[in-house]
Amino acid sequence: MASTSTIQGAISRCLTDRRRNGKGPVVAQAAVTKEISRWKLPELPTLVITTATEPLTKRPIEIIEENDKFNSGKFGRFGGKFVPETLTASLSQLEAEFNRALHDQVFQEELATLLRDYAGRDTPLFYAERLTEYYKSNNNGEGPEIYLKREDLNHGGSHQMNNAIGQALLAKRMGLKRVVTATAAGQTGLATAAVCAKLGLECTVYMAAKDKEKQSSMVRLMKLLGAQVEAVEGGFKDATSEAIRGWANDLDSSYFLTGLAIGPHPCPTMVREFQSVIGKETRRQAMEKWGGKPDVLVASVGTGSSALGLFHEFLQDIDVRLVGVEAAGSGLDTGKHSSSLAKGEVGVYHGAMSYLLQDEDGQIIIPHSIAPELEYPGVGPELSFLKDSGRAEFHSVTDEEALNAYQRLCKLEGIFISLEAAHALGILDKLVPTLKSGTKLVVNCSGRGDKDVDIVFEHRGCLEAFSGL
Ligand SMILES: Cc1ncc(COP(=O)(O)O)c(C=O)c1O
């Protein structure tokens, strides 16, 4: 194991290199590199209206198969392990332990038991009858059947519990005592704090000071669960940088538990793997409910943990259409958004290559969304690859559209989902009129939305801004 001083030297070169970009606050730039323009793809069209089954070339599927087989951490040209040499040994150790755990029956049984008895899985695949009727009545009786995958019903209120359980078990298996993580809306922090309490691990949650203030009830809950909540200057990305530093400065006893599908290999692969229970369950539940597969899957996209959780099981079913929805914030042309796939360019950040919001000098552009956990300036490597390969399609939904979707679901189904998840529902206004009756559409409701009530009231005042359903 490398000594602390060597590690600190490397970390201070790589991760604590703080520069001013002249436009905003100090940002932590983890070796952002801008890619040459020959890799740039044309802009995403505004909603492509297609049938569910667009034929793909063979290559992306071959690459998907290869990734699955070798678990290499490379998704086409994305992913990798862009870290100082001093961290590679720890990451290799983590990768080896993760691979062993995947094939260890004792680990798998413990994981399955906690997912069932602690998280409360299976989560329902719920037929949203009134939402379905609402869209049909606006479209001459035509339209898909809409189902909600209720990840908001997990203990802790989000899909984050799936990954937190898996990774905390791994930390314990490796004999590490302390878990560090970052959170924005609090859902990653809450899930991690809860599992750490359950498994007797110490937990430190890094959170931007502004998010701590906005999500004060989540902060109190994390503290009650025994976590230390550290305030960080800046935003969610800075909290993530701080969590990486917290881990890198204490490799002998710390574990970096990311809830996002980012970071150096094996982090994004682990997150995807522990979240893939969502899609596996969805396949089984669809078979039980209508004797087939879903036709269209929809999920919000911050970095991809919830989207990949639903999509991954179906990557090779090319008749299943995969729709990811990024945050358009105040609008894609305002510069105030979090749409890294629509507007970003390829570069390296937080240890991996992916699509990033960056300026001409390769400096990170501060992202914006009304949904705090979507405010990350990049997207994970696997979704970046799914965009380039054409296997998944991506669209963007504004703050206002997400607020409408949040309120509509409250009124029609009595279900309050997080503003992050409301982005997935927000695309339905444009997507649904393009789909035939009989289409089975599943939306990933990744989190519950009581944490967002104050934000909704702050933006909507007495709620009159949303007059319709
Ligand atoms: C409930 C919920 N939904 C969506 C997201 C968006 O991130 P990702 O794209 O990684 O799922 C998050 C992030 O933590 C989240 O907590």
CATH number at residue 37: 3.40.50.1100
For atom 4 of ligand 1, which residue has the closest CA? 420
Is the CB of 301 within 6 Å of ligand 1? Answer: yes
Supply the pTM of this predicted model. 0.88
* Cα separation, 378 vs 164, whole angstroms: 21
Q: Do the Cβ atoms of 351 and 82 come closer than 8 Å?
A: yes
According to the model, what pLDDT value does residue 151 have? 98
Is the CB of 445 within 6 Å of ligand 1? Answer: no
Q: Does 168 map to a domain?
A: yes
| 154 Cα: distance to centroid of ligand 1 (angstroms) | 14
According to the model, what pLDDT value does residue 358 have? 96
Q: Does 336 map to a domain?
A: yes
Residues 16 and 112 in one domain: yes
Residues 87 and 15 in one domain: yes
Per-position b or e across 74-86, b if 16+ CB within 10 A of its CB? bbbebbbbbbbeb
According to the model, what pLDDT value does residue 29 have? 42
Q: Does 70 map to a domain?
A: no
Residues 349 and 232 in one domain: no
Residues 317 and 390 in one domain: yes
Q: How many residues does the chain have?
A: 469
Structure tokens at 202: 């110490």
Arithmetic mean of pLDDT, 17-34: 35
Residues 169 and 291 in one domain: no
Is the CB of 183 within 6 Å of ligand 1? Answer: no
45 has a pLDDT exceeding 80: no
**Residue 185 — pLDDT band, cuts 50, 70, 90?**
confident
Q: Is 397 exposed, middle or buried (0-12, 13-18, 19+ CB in 10 A)?
A: buried
Q: Does 228 map to a domain?
A: yes
Q: Does 190 map to a domain?
A: yes
Among 217, 252, 272, the domain boundary falls at 272
Q: Report DSSP letters for 302-356, one per residue.
A: SSSHHHHHHHGGGTT-TTSEEEEEEEEEEETTTTEEE-HHHH-EEEEETTEEEEE
Q: Residue 303 is part of which domain span?
A: 125-157+276-460
According to the model, what pLDDT value does residue 69 have? 56
According to the model, what pLDDT value does residue 468 have? 66
According to the model, what pLDDT value does residue 61 have? 63
| 425 Cα: distance to centroid of ligand 1 (angstroms) | 14
Q: pLDDT tens-digit profile of 419-435?
A: 999 999 999 999 999 99
| 116 Cα: distance to centroid of ligand 1 (angstroms) | 21
Arithmetic mean of pLDDT, 343-361: 96
Q: Does 355 map to a domain?
A: yes
Residues 436 and 359 in one domain: yes
Is the CB of 452 within 6 Å of ligand 1? Answer: no
Q: pLDDT tens-digit profile of 256-270?
A: 999 999 999 999 999
| 85 Cα: distance to centroid of ligand 1 (angstroms) | 30
For atom 6 of ligand 1, which residue has the closest CA? 302
Is the CB of 259 within 6 Å of ligand 1? Answer: yes
For atom 13 of ligand 1, which residue has the closest CA? 373
According to the model, what pLDDT value does residue 65 have? 65
Q: Is 359 exposed, middle or buried (0-12, 13-18, 19+ CB in 10 A)?
A: middle
Is the CB of 307 within 6 Å of ligand 1? Answer: yes
242 has a pLDDT exceeding 90: yes
Q: Tell me, rounded to whole angstroms, the distance of Cα 15 from its chain centroid.
A: 22
Q: Does 426 map to a domain?
A: yes
| 301 Cα: distance to centroid of ligand 1 (angstroms) | 7
Q: pLDDT tens-digit profile of 51-88?
A: 233 333 445 666 666 666 556 799 999 999 999 999 99
For atom 12 of ligand 1, which residue has the closest CA? 373
Arithmetic mean of pLDDT, 181-193: 95
Number of domains in the chain: 2
According to the model, what pLDDT value does residue 26 have? 26
According to the model, what pLDDT value does residue 16 have? 31
Q: DSSP 3-state assignment of 142? A: coil
Residues 185 and 326 in one domain: no
Q: pLDDT tens-digit profile of 300-317?
A: 999 999 999 999 999 999
For atom 14 of ligand 1, which residue has the closest CA? 373
Residues 97 and 136 in one domain: no
2 has a pLDDT exceeding 90: no
Arithmetic mean of pLDDT, 375-379: 97
| Lowest-confidence region among 19-33, 248-262, 423-437 | 19-33
The mean of the pLDDT values for the chain is 87
Residue 216 DSSP class? H
Q: Does 59 map to a domain?
A: no
According to the model, what pLDDT value does residue 214 have? 86
| 335 Cα: distance to centroid of ligand 1 (angstroms) | 21
Is the CB of 160 within 6 Å of ligand 1? Answer: yes
Q: DSSP 3-state assignment of 248? A: helix
Among 244, 272, 300, the domain boundary falls at 272
Per-position b or e across 174-194, b if 16+ CB within 10 A of its CB? eebebbbbbbbbbbbbbbbbb
According to the model, what pLDDT value does residue 463 have? 60
Q: Is 227 exposed, middle or buried (0-12, 13-18, 19+ CB in 10 A)?
A: buried
Q: Distances in Å between the alpha carbon of 422 and those of 78, 144, 446? A: 28, 18, 9
According to the model, what pLDDT value does residue 63 have? 65
Residues 343 and 261 in one domain: no
Indicate which atom in ligand 1 lies nearest the CA of residue 152.
1
Is the CB of 373 within 6 Å of ligand 1? Answer: yes
Residues 406 and 308 in one domain: yes
Indicate which atom in ligand 1 lies nearest the CA of residue 157.
1
Q: pLDDT tens-digit profile of 83-123?
A: 999 999 999 999 999 999 999 999 999 999 999 999 999 99
For atom 7 of ligand 1, which residue has the closest CA? 302
Residues 315 and 371 in one domain: yes
Residues 177 and 151 in one domain: no
Among 272, 304, 333, the domain boundary falls at 272
| 125 Cα: distance to centroid of ligand 1 (angstroms) | 19
293 has a pLDDT exceeding 80: yes
Is the CB of 374 within 6 Å of ligand 1? Answer: yes
Arithmetic mean of pLDDT, 358-370: 95
**Residue 24 — pLDDT band, cuts 50, 70, 90?**
very low
81 — alpha (psi -120 to 50), left (phi > 0) or beta?
beta
